[in-house]
Amino acid sequence: QKEVEQNSGPLSVPEGAIASLNCTYSDRGSQSFFWYRQYSGKSPELIMFIYSNGDKEDGRFTAQLNKASQYVSLLIRDSQPSDSATYLCAVKLGLGYDQFYFGTGTSLTVIP
Amino acid sequence: DAGITQSPRHKVTETGTPVTLRCHQTENHRYMYWYRQDPGHGLRLIHYSYGVKDTDKGEVSDGYSVSRSKTEDFLLTLESATSSQTSVYFCAISPSGGAVGTLFFGEGSRLTVL
């Protein structure tokens, strides 16, 4: 069983702060890592993906990957109330059309 | 917008009745997927397709069947619905270009089995 673990939260941060979301995975052979955002009652939408160790930045979002520790995180800088959602971590073994394994998500609330 | 349309968006049915959910895509993607999402379980793969008439099972395929007779349509059928199949069902596609191997989801279909 390939497991992806996330703290379910809820995580609350004040507006303008940095939100840090964490995810661990069990299969050391995993190569692709994804963060999705899901608003209540809506479908998941892709925020970022990362394949290599280190950081990847896209606007206010930074994904961090540490394969040795089997850990991937998402930082949201200057958090906004519109960032309030559930964030899903997903892991894939390969770089192509392989099966995704999803965590159960972390609920984030940004307090104005 | 990944060009994915699911229908119906909401359905209430009774135990033992057949149910078919439809996923329609407009961009000719080869790979299509059906997931279900339940509290405490996250998204779980039911079936996927890698081309017309080419399908395979996911981790929670029992009680479900699929068909893909055209590139644009991927159907999920519950032959005899049970209460444990009450869930939100998401169709997804994986593009062949650009962000290869990523998933883009449809709006979801909420199914309630009484």
- Report pLDDT for A53: 87
CA–CA distance, B102 with B98 (Å, rounded to integer)? 9
Q: What is the pLDDT of residues B24-50, one digit of tens each?
A: 999 888 889 999 999 888 899 999 998
CA–CA distance, B44 with B41 (Å, rounded to integer)? 7
Determine the average pLDDT of the residues in B61-80: 97
Residue A36: exposure state from Cβ atoms within 10 A (0-12, 13-18, ≥19) = buried
Beta strands, E only, chain B: 4-7, 10-13, 19-25, 31-38, 42-51, 54-57, 65-70, 73-78, 87-94, 104-105, 109-113
Residue whose structure tokens are 């309630």: B112
| pLDDT for residue B13 is more than 80 | yes
| pLDDT for residue A27 is more than 60 | yes
Chain centroid, CA B79 distance in Å: 14
Residue whose structure tokens are 């606007």: A59
Does A49 contact B at CB distance below 8 Å? yes
Chain centroid, CA A75 distance in Å: 8
Distance from CA of B101 to the nearest CA of A (A): 5
Does A92 contact B at CB distance below 8 Å? yes
Least CB–CB distance from B101: residue in A42, A95, A102: A95
Q: What is the pLDDT of residues B88-97, one digit of tens each?
A: 999 999 886 5
- CA dihedral sign, ordered A36, B55, B21, B61: negative
**Hey, are the CB atoms on B107 and A34 less than 8 Å from each other?**
no
